[in-house]
Amino acid sequence: MSNSSLFWFRQDLRLADNPGLIKAAQHDNLIAVYIEDPNIGSASQWWLHHSLTKLNESLGNKLNIYQGDPKQIIFKLINDYNLDAVYWNRCYEPWRIQMDSKLKADLKEKKVTCETFNGSLLWEPMRILKNDKTYYKVFTPFYQNGCLKVDRPRDPLRKTRAISFIKDKNSLVIADLRLLPKIEWYKSFEEHWDIGEKAAHEKLKHFLSYEIKSYKESRDFPARNSVSRLSPHLHLGEISPHQVWAAVQLKRLQSPIDSNNLDHFIRELCWREFSYYLLYHFPELPYKNFQNKFDRFPWQKKSSHLKAWQKGLTGYPIIDAGMRELWHTGYMHNRVRMIAGSFLVKNLLIDWREGEAWFRDCLVDADLANNSASWQWVAGSGADAAPYFRIFNPITQGEKFDPEGAYTKRFVPELKQLPNKYLFKPWEAPDSVLKDAGVKLGENYPFPIVDLQISRQTALQSFANLG
C-alpha cells in the first residue's frame, strides 16, 4: 500500500488529543497496533484488558494486537504493508526511553519516517530546569518557578478525521494477552469502575460539576466522594492531562468562586508531573534510594508483619481499611495511602520497596513514576521527602479524617458495631463494649502487631543514626 502509516498505542488509549495518532491519520491508510507490555501489575492488567476492549470498539474492531519484540513486529508490518511512516507518543520509563531511541535509529537507517510526540505530560521533563541548568529536587519551586513560569500547556487536539484502518490477518485478539489474572480477586473491581475514554470524560465532568466545590477541604476525608479518581484513566491515557487542564481552566471562567479548589486540584495534577520529572532525571527511582544515606538503613525482614499489612490485619483499623479497600477495589484513598505507607516503613521498619511492589501489583493506577516517588516520599529517602520524624499516628489520623467511622466500618465490617470512641483503638474498649459489638480481639479482629510508641521511638533512633 502506498502512503500508509503505523501508529503504536501504548499509554495513550484514546482517540481525542492523541498527537501521534492524529499525525498518522494524515496518511491514506493506517495500521493501529498494541504490543504487550510485560511490565504491568495484575490490577492494571485487569484495567488494560477492558480499556483495550473499549479502544478496539472505538476503532471499529481494527486494533491489531501483538506479543513479542516491538522492533521485530513493527519492521515485519513495515515490510508486509509497505508502510511509509511510524508514529508513537513518548513514554518516560527508563527502559522505554532506551528502546525508543534504538528503534528510532533503526527506522532512520531503513529510511522509514519516524516521529514521536508528547501525549502524556503537560511539560516534558527536559524542558524545566533551574537557572544553573540542573533539575529541581523539591516540588514547590518546581511548580512555582518551573511549571507556572513556562509556556502554558497546549490546547487539546480534536479527534482525527475518518481513518481507513488496516486489519492485519496475523493480529491476535485481546484475550490472547491473558491480562485477566488467574486468581479472580479482581471480580469485585467491576462494581467500582467504568473504563475507557468516554467514562474518563464523564468522570471529569462530574467531578468538576460537584466534588470540586469542596475539594481542598474534603479531599483528605476518605468517606467523602471528594476526589476525582481520574488516576487510573490518566495512567493508561484514556484521558490526557491537557484535557484535564483545559477543562479546569474552562471551569474557572464559568465559576470563579471555585478558583481555590481548582488551584489545589491543578497542584495535585502537577505532583504527577513532578513524579515523571524525577523518574526522567533519576531513572533508578523505582529501586534505588534517592538519598544515598538510606542505603545504610536497618530495614527489618519480618514476613509476618508484611503479610499482616498486605492483608489488612495490622490491628490498626484505618490502616486495615485502606489495605482492604486496595484489595477489593484496586484503589486506595490518598490520605490512607500515606498513613498505610508510613506505618509500613516507620513503624514496621520494612523496606519501602516492599510497599512499592505490593501497590504496583494491586493498584489500577499503578503508575511507575507516581508509585515510586510517593513511596520514597513516605520513606524520607526521596527528593522532596517527608522528614524522617513525620510518622503518621493511625489512631489520631483515623479520628481526624474518618470521625464518623463510615470509611473504616465499610472495609472493616467486624468493627461496625463498635462505638466511634473506640473504633481506632479497639484494644482500649472495655470487655463489655467489645462483647456488645461482637468483637473478639485476637479472634475476629487482631491485636495491634506493634506498639505505636515503642516502634516510633525505634524508628526515630534509626533515622537519626543516618546522620
Write out the catalytic residue numbers. 268, 271, 299, 334, 352, 375
User: What count of Cα atoms within 13 Å lies in the side-chain half-sphere of residue 111?
Assistant: 1
CA 456 to centroid of chain Cα atoms: 29
Radius of gyration of the chain, Cα coordinates, nearest whole angstrom = 24
SS3 assignment, position 33 = strand
Sheet arrangement for strand 85-89: 64-66, 29-35, 4-9, 85-89, 113-117
Locate all alpha helices (DSSP H) within 34-81, ordered by sequence.
42-58, 70-81
The Cα–Cα gap between 86 and 73 comes to 12
Longest dimension (CA), the chain: 82
Helices (H), 314-426: 317-329, 334-342, 352-362, 368-379, 394-401, 406-411, 420-423
Q: Residue 206: how many CB atoms within 10 A of its CB?
A: 14
Phi, psi dihedrals of residue 134, rounded to the nearest 5°: -95, 170
